[in-house]
Structure 1
Amino acid sequence: MVDEAIDEITVGGVAEQLAVDPSVASRMVAECINDGLLVRRASQRDGRRTVLELSAEGVRLRDRFRSQHRQAFIEITRDWPESKRLTFARLLIEYADASVALTQRPR
């Protein structure tokens, strides 16, 4: 979420994306900062705002997670015909996009 944001992301943006109370998001972000996964930075557009970015450790964790997912997909679908793998991947992406859109609807 933090690394995929088109725009700068704040704690409020995290709360909105996760559909949680800002205080919950603030605690989650604080834990990620304490764990060395996120860093706070001044906004490049408005120095009064604080935005979130992945730390170097956060990038490593994200990349490892993505690699493990990719390897699991390859292993699980290794006996599937290529057409079935592509169809499944397309539908999975469609599902993920729809779930993101669901969180962005007004409550």
Structure 2
Amino acid sequence: MNHPSAPAEADLTVDGTGLLCVTLLLRLRRRIGDAPPGTVVHVVATDPAAPLDLPAWCHMTGHTYLGTVPGREHVYALRLSAEARATRPDAPWHPLPRDAETPEADKSGSPP
């Protein structure tokens, strides 16, 4: 899978050191709720599933997975999208049904 290159600098960093991806995604969703589209997020993730789960989550929500950050172990980058699909607050791996999304909804993954 080909991804744009991951920038060395982040607008926002989410530290998920020691967390399983389930908990990491809960933290990530909460932290990006107020971030504007285009924000580059670095996610520190030591869970061995992170290299699979983070790209899958980005694909599901519509954010752009940028890949691993060069020279930084366990750091992954993504760029927030204005067209991202909202997810459930208690289960960010489940997108909200399209009919449950409102025009005012924050598409970064958090409810308005």
| Same fold (TM > 0.5) | no
* Normalised TM-score (structure 1): 0.32
The structure with the largest strand share of the pair is 2
Q: Which has the larger radius of gyration?
A: 1
The structure with the largest helix share of the pair is 1
Greater length-normalized contact order (CA 8 Å, ≥ 6 residues apart): 2
